Amino acid sequence: MSKDRTDEAGDGFGIMRIGAAVMVIFAHSFPLARGAEDPTWQRGTVIISFGSAAVSIFFVISGYLVLSSWMRDPNPLRFAVRRVARIWPGLLVMLLVTTWIVGSAVTTLPLARYLTDPGTSRYFAGSALLLPVWDLPGVFRTNPGPGVNGSVWSLPIEVAAYVGLALLGPLLVVRGRRRLVLAAVMAAAIVLAVAVTRYVLPHAMVVGLAYLLHQNFLVFFIAGGVLYFARERVPMRWPLFGLAMVGLLVSLLAGVMIAVFVFLSYGVIYLSTRRGLVLRRITALGDPSYGIYIYAYPIQQVFAHLRLAPNEWVLFAEATVVSVVVGYLSWHLVEKRALEFARRRLRRPAASAATRPTPLAAA
């Protein structure tokens, strides 16, 4: 079985994901240091902040790489195993640390009461199931910013994208030019279907879908997937990248979100597909991006709780250093091992089938 690029994307992909994770830290530094808003650009149909831009980058890369993984092995069960191995082991360890270690250390409640409070177990179980449970009893309640981990809200959207791909992915296993046409038709159909559901579904379901489509992140996932399909027809060259960046700037100034989807997605994939010795040396150390993303918010909250961050810039600097270290630890101690375990388990059935004697050979 070929190596899953979605699990260990190196060079430009790895650097872009690390950069996006650091952007998220920067975005959260404003509300967590002094209760201010993440700086946001709003004009026309465009509403984008540092945080939403960073998450959009993640979704473009995810759409490109996850679709690449699916096309190499379009088996829903094996696809699900890979995705679970990528998301949940790191998430569960983070929840164990934040709920039972960090929470126990900083809660304003007596320790015995905190450990037995139903809200403590509810937070751990709910967050593990990707439900919107944000608070632990007596934890970070006096901090300028809310919640224990304000980053994990995007994980249900990522999982929704995986589920959609697993359901619709079999339609993509076709040859020739039909791939690009089918990808464009499916992307348009998905966007149209979501747009009309508000008229046919109950209000509660519409609210749930609106949450999943918050800031159009699924559209960025689709854009990344379309660029993967079109990789042989859309050249990744620096003159086109320059034009895309100019187009992105004009789109932001004009407030045209559809153009932002196109130009931002192209720019992200262009930078992600760069290769070089320096990039290779950095990514050879591992992929800390997911660990940075899921640990940075509680790390920032700890600094704010201890009053070690007088302003957002100090909080950003100190949280970035600690989060990068923790991100690498999460990768090497948890995430990488979970992915390797999943890979070994997925190889075994294929190996058994390849070595099993046929009836004729046995005879």
What are the tens digits of pLDDT across the range 31-40?
999 998 888 9
With a CB cutoff of 8 Å and minimum separation 6, the contacts of 82 are: 4, 6, 7, 69, 339, 342, 346
Kindly tell me if the per-residue pLDDT of 132 is higher than 90: no
Mean pLDDT confidence for 259-284: 90
pTM: 0.84
> Which tops the pLDDT comparison, 355 or 136?
136
Model pLDDT, residue 98: 97
Q: What is the DSSP letter of 284?
A: T
**CA-CA distances (angstroms) from residue 140 to 148, 149, 303, 310?**
7, 10, 10, 17
Kindly tell me if the per-residue pLDDT of 9 is higher than 60: no
Model pLDDT, residue 358: 42
Q: Where are the domains of the chain?
A: 12-152+256-350
Model pLDDT, residue 167: 78
Mean pLDDT confidence for 290-295: 97
Average pLDDT, the chain: 86
Q: Are strands 46-49 and 40-43 parallel, antiparallel or unpaired?
A: antiparallel
Counting every residue written for the chain, the total comes to 363
Query: For residues 219 and 278, what is the distance between their CA atoms, to the nearest angstrom?
Result: 32
Kindly tell me if the per-residue pLDDT of 349 is higher than 60: no
Kindly tell me if the per-residue pLDDT of 269 is higher than 60: yes
Query: For residues 173 and 249, what is the distance between their CA atoms, to the nearest angstrom?
Result: 36
Kindly tell me if the per-residue pLDDT of 148 is higher than 90: yes
Mean pLDDT confidence for 133-162: 92
Kindly tell me if the per-residue pLDDT of 191 is higher than 80: no
Q: Quick one: pLDDT band at residue 170, thresholds 50, 70, 90?
A: confident
Segment 75-120, tens digit of pLDDT:
889 999 999 999 999 999 999 999 999 999 999 999 999 999 999 9
Residue 49 three-state SS: strand
- Whether the CB-CB separation of 57 and 20 falls below 8 Å is answered with yes
> Which tops the pLDDT comparison, 163 or 96?
96
107 phi and psi angles, rounded to 5 deg: -60, 145
Model pLDDT, residue 172: 75
Kindly tell me if the per-residue pLDDT of 298 is higher than 90: yes
Kindly tell me if the per-residue pLDDT of 248 is higher than 90: yes
5-9, 67-71, 226-230, 241-245: which range is least confident on average?
Answer: 5-9
Model pLDDT, residue 8: 44
> Which tops the pLDDT comparison, 205 or 155?
155
Mean pLDDT confidence for 56-85: 93
Nearest of 251, 309, 327 to residue 22 by alpha carbon: 327
51-55, 174-178, 214-218: which range is least confident on average?
Answer: 174-178
Residue 357 three-state SS: coil
Kindly tell me if the per-residue pLDDT of 301 is higher than 80: yes
Q: Quick one: pLDDT band at residue 129, thresholds 50, 70, 90?
A: very high
